[in-house]
Chains A and B, each alone.
Chain A
């Protein structure tokens, strides 16, 4: 079967660091995407992990452990504009998103 789990909501303050976890179970796994979706807008690509380990891209980093079916997105130096939903999606020739994690950043 296929499953995908993320916390529904996370809150943090400006300047802080926040980690958003994603656990998945799927067949035919090619990699894992993270997308950001602001309310009323389309998802936008953040990162893609194929191999185990941490991929850093500016303030955002993404980690993958294929053996554990686990990933996280790390956001540093949070800004108000980072308030959005964050979607993880295993790449199995199509994107299957979970309900995403809504991040609220407070001043």
Chain B
């Protein structure tokens, strides 16, 4: 069964450093998403991406964040200058173009900022 994959599974970085989290969505999906979940808290929407552009973003997704689809398979989330409060599990998801457009989540990348 096709699945969303994410790398790395765990990333440790120092405050102020840039990180890039990578995702490979399911191949025939056209909508891509990033969510984050701080330990013990709810899953929070960050951004959705369709047709090579951001379709929607939350207030969390500020200028420190960017997304890119550099080729036909990868979807990346970049955090330019990490803060301690960026420590969280980051989930990538993708969905088909047709309703119900259920989102399939990847296993997540645990980001630890020290």
Describe A's contact surface by its main secondary structure. Answer: loop
CB-defined interface of B19-61 with A at 8 Å, one 1/0 digit per residue?
A: 0000000000000010100000111110010000001100000
The 8 Å CB contact of A93, one of B41, B44, B48, is B48
Q: Is the CB of A87 within 8 A of B103?
A: no
Interface residues of B, count at CB 8 A: 22
Name which residue of chain A comes closest to B103, CB basis: A95
Q: Is the CB of B45 within 8 A of A31?
A: no
From known contacts A50-B100, A94-B48, A94-B56, infer whether A41 and B107 are also in contact, taking CB-CB under 8 Å: yes
Closest 8 CB pairs of A and B: A42-B105, A48-B100, A99-B42, A45-B102, A97-B43, A94-B45, A94-B48, A43-B105
Interface residues in chain B, defined as those with a beta carbon under 8 Å from any beta carbon in chain A: 33, 35, 41-45, 48, 55-56, 91, 93, 99-108
